[in-house]
C-alpha cells in the first residue's frame, strides 16, 4: 500500500497554489500570510488536510469495479475543492472513460490496481444524422448500453477525410441513442459511419492541476480496435495544464500509451509505457514545456513522439527500447527542446529522427539539443542512429555514444540530409557502423 505524503502531493499539484510566486514585478508587496479568499485562485494557504476517498472493488468509502464508481469519487472530491481519490487493489473494468476534473490526485496501488476495459464492438449507423443532431440510429443495438463511451467514425463525403467524434450514450429507444452532446459533424450514410465502443481509460479537457500516479492502465488491445492517438490512449488529455503522471504503467492499448494535445507544463516521470500499437508518450500539438523524465518506453510502434509545435520540452533519463519504428521522432515546429541522458536502443528503423516537413517556410525541428545519450543498434541492415532531414537547422548533437554492436552492414551513425542547415557535432563517440557520419549537404557547414 503506498504511503501518501501530504507535502509531496501539495508540492506537485497546484491544489495548494501556495507554490505560485508571492512577489510581483510591478512593485506589489509580497504575499506573506495567504488566506482563503473567495475567488482568489492565485494564493491560498498550504492546508494540512484535504478530502481523501478510498474506492475499492470489495471495500472502501465507495465500492464497485466500474468507471461509474471512480467517476463518482473524483466528481465528489472535486466538488469540495480538490483532494485525493485512492484506488485500492483490484481490477476496474470500464465501459466509459473516467473524466478527470481539476485539482485532484488519482492514486492507485501500483501493479495491484488495474484499470482496463472490455472488448470493443463496432456497429454501422442505419440513418443519416446531421451536424446539429444529438442522436444516432444503429443497424442493431449490439451490446451498447446507456452510459457507454463511444467513438463515431465516418468518411467526409466532401473531401474524403476521416470524421472522429467521441461521445457518451445517455438515452435509448431500441436502436436509437441520444448523445451527451450534439454531433457538430455530419454523419451521412454515404460516409459509411460506425459507432464503436472505444474511449481513453483516463481523459480530460480544459482542466488543470491533476496528479495521476501509481496505477496500471491496460488497454486490452487483443480485444479492441485502434483509436488514433489524437483522440485516445490509456491517458488522453486535451487543452489541459499542469498534469503530473508518475509511476503509471500504460500498456496494451491499440493506440497510444500517454497522449496529451495542446497541454502545457505536463510532467511524465517514472512511468512505463509499453506494448502499445502506436506511440509510447505523445506530447501533442502545441504542447509547451513538457517534461518526460526517467520513463521506460518499450515495444511500442514509436517511443517518444514530439508532435507539432512542441517547444521548450525536456526528455531526460528515459529508457527507450525495442520500438518498432523510431525511438524518438521530432518534426513540425518542434523547437528548443532538450533530449539528454536517454538510452535509445533496438529501434526498428531509426534511433532519433528529425522529420521533414516542406509544406511551410520553416516547419522543421530547429534549435534542439541531443546530448549525452546512448543510441544502440538502430534499424535494419541500412539503419541510421540519428537521421536529420529536410531543412532542419541549428541542431546540436553533443557528447553522445552512438553504437552499433551488430555487423556494420550499410548502417550509418549520423545522416545529414542535403538541405539541412547548420548542425553542431561535438565529441560524439560513433562505433561499429559502415559510415560514421554521412553528410549529404552540397555546401558543408563549419
Per-residue pLDDT of the chain (446 residues; tens, 9 = 90+): 344 454 455 445 444 444 444 455 667 888 888 898 888 878 888 888 899 999 999 999 999 999 999 999 999 999 999 999 999 999 999 999 999 999 999 999 999 999 999 999 999 999 999 999 999 999 998 999 999 999 999 998 778 889 999 999 999 999 999 999 999 999 999 999 999 999 999 999 999 999 999 999 999 999 999 999 999 999 999 999 999 999 999 999 999 999 999 999 999 999 999 999 999 999 999 999 999 999 999 999 999 999 999 999 999 999 999 999 999 999 999 999 999 999 999 999 999 999 999 898 999 999 999 999 999 999 999 999 999 999 999 999 999 999 999 999 999 999 999 999 999 999 999 999 999 999 999 755 54
Q: Looking at residue 99, what is its pLDDT? A: 98
CA angle 225, 228, 232 (to 5 degrees): 90
Kindly give, in sequence order, each residue whose CB lies less than 8 Å from that of residue 7, ignoring residues fewer than 6 positions away.
none
End-to-end Cα distance, the chain: 57
Q: What are the start-end ranges of the E strands in 100-175?
A: 104-107, 113-117, 122-124, 135-137, 149-155, 162-173
CA neighbor of 331 nearest in space, from 371, 367, 364, 377: 364
Which segments of the chain belong to CATH 2.160.20.10? 199-439
Instruction: Tally the residues of the chain.
Output: 446
Q: Looking at residue 17, what is its pLDDT? A: 44
282, 306 Cβ separation under 8 angstroms = no
The CB density around residue 119, as the number of other CB atoms within 10 Å, is: 11
Which segments of the chain belong to CATH 2.40.30? 122-196
Place of cell 496494451: 252
Phi then psi for residue 287, to 5 deg, are -75, 130
Q: Looking at residue 28, what is its pLDDT? A: 81
Place of cell 483522440: 231
Q: State the cell numbers at 392.
A: 532542419
CA neighbor of 193 nearest in space, from 142, 124, 120: 124
204, 210 Cβ separation under 8 angstroms = yes
Q: What are the start-end ranges of the E strands in 120-214?
A: 122-124, 135-137, 149-155, 162-173, 176-179, 194-196, 202-205, 208-213
Q: State the cell numbers at 185.
A: 459533424
CA distances from 400 to 50, 376, 416, 428 (A): 46, 11, 16, 5
CATH of 199-439, one of 2.40.50.100, 3.20.20.140, 3.30.365.10, 2.160.20.10: 2.160.20.10
Kindly give, in sequence order, each residue whose CB lies less than 8 Å from that of residue 118, ignoring residues fewer than 6 positions away.
93, 94, 95, 197, 220, 223
* Euclidean distance between CA atoms 314 and 72, whole angstroms: 35
Q: Looking at residue 16, what is its pLDDT? A: 40
* Euclidean distance between CA atoms 415 and 411, whole angstroms: 10
Kindly give, in sequence order, each residue whose CB lies less than 8 Å from that of residue 42, ignoring residues fewer than 6 positions away.
17, 20
Q: Looking at residue 157, what is its pLDDT? A: 76
Q: Looking at residue 358, what is its pLDDT? A: 87
Within 13 Å and on the Cβ side, how many CA atoms surround 350? 16
275, 299 Cβ separation under 8 angstroms = yes
Q: Looking at residue 6, what is its pLDDT? A: 47
Q: Looking at residue 10, what is its pLDDT? A: 46
Kindly give, in sequence order, each residue whose CB lies less than 8 Å from that of residue 281, ignoring residues fewer than 6 positions away.
257, 258, 259, 268, 271, 273, 292, 295, 297, 303, 304, 305
CATH of 122-196, one of 3.30.530, 3.30.70, 1.10.10, 2.40.30: 2.40.30
Amino acid at each position: 500500500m503506498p504511503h501518501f505524503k501530504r507535502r509531496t502531493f501539495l508540492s506537485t499539484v497546484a491544489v495548494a497554489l501556495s507554490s505560485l510566486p508571492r512577489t510581483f514585478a510591478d512593485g506589489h508587496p509580497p504575499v506573506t500570510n495567504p488566506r482563503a479568499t473567495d475567488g482568489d485562485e492565485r494564493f491560498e494557504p498550504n492546508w494540512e488536510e484535504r478530502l481523501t476517498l478510498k474506492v475499492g472493488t470489495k471495500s472502501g468509502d465507495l465500492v464497485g469495479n466500474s468507471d461509474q464508481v471512480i467517476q463518482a469519487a473524483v466528481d465528489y472530491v472535486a466538488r469540495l475543492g480538490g483532494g485525493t481519490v485512492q484506488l485500492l487493489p483490484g481490477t476496474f473494468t470500464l465501459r466509459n472513460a473516467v473524466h478527470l476534473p481539476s485539482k485532484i490526485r488519482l492514486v492507485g496501488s501500483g501493479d495491484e490496481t488495474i484499470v482496463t476495459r472490455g472488448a470493443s464492438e463496432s456497429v454501422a449507423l442505419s440513418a443519416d444524422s446531421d451536424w446539429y443532431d444529438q442522436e444516432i440510429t444503429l443497424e442493431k443495438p449490439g451490446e451498447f448500453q446507456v452510459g457507454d463511451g463511444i467513438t463515431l467514425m465516418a468518411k467526409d463525403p466532401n473531401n474524403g477525410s476521416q470524421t472522429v467524434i467521441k461521445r457518451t450514450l445517455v438515452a435509448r429507444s431500441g436502436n436509437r441513442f441520444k448523445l451527451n452532446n450534439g454531433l457538430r459533424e455530419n454523419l451521412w450514410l454515404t460516409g459509411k459511419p460506425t459507432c464503436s465502443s472505444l474511449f481513453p481509460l483516463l481523459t480530460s479537457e480544459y482542466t488543470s492541476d491533476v496528479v495521476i500516479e501509481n496505477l496500471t492502465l491496460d488497454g486490452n488491445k487483443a480485444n479492441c480496435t485502434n483509436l488514433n492517438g489524437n483522440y485516445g490512449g490509456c491517458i488522453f488529455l486535451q487543452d489541459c495544464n499542469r498534469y503530473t503522471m508518475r509511476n503509471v504503467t500504460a500498456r496494451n492499448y491499440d493506440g497510444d500509451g500517454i497522449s496529451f494535445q495542446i497541454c502545457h507544463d505536463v510532467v511524465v516521470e517514472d512511468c512505463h509505457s509499453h506494448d502499445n500499437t502506436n506511440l509510447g508518450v505523445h506530447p501533442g500539438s502545441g504542447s509547451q514545456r513538457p517534461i518526460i523524465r526517467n520513463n521506460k518506453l518499450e515495444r511500442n510502434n514509436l517511443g517518444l513522439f514530439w508532435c507539432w509545435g512542441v517547444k521548450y520540452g525536456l526528455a531526460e533519463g528515459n529508457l527507450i527500447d525495442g520500438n518498432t519504428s523510431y525511438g524518438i521522432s521530432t518534426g513540425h515546429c518542434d523547437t528548443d527542446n532538450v533530449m539528454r541522458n536517454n538510452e535509445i536502443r533496438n529501434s526498428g528503423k531509426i534511433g532519433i529522427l528529425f522529420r521533414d516537413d516542406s509544406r511551410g517556410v520553416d516547419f522543421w525541428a530547429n534549435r534542439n539539443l541531443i546530448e549525452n545519450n546512448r543510441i544502440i543498434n538502430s534499424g535494419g541492415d541500412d539503419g541510421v542512429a540519428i537521421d536529420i532531414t529536410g531543412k532542419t537547422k541549428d541542431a546540436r548533437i553533443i557528447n553522445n555514444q552512438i553504437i552499433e554492436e551488430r555487423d556494420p552492414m550499410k548502417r550509418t551513425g549520423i545522416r545529414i540530409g542535403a538541405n539541412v542547415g547548420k548542425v553542431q557535432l561535438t565529441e560524439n563517440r560513433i562505433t561499429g557502423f559502415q559510415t560514421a557520419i554521412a553528410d549529404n549537404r552540397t555546401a558543408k557547414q563549419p
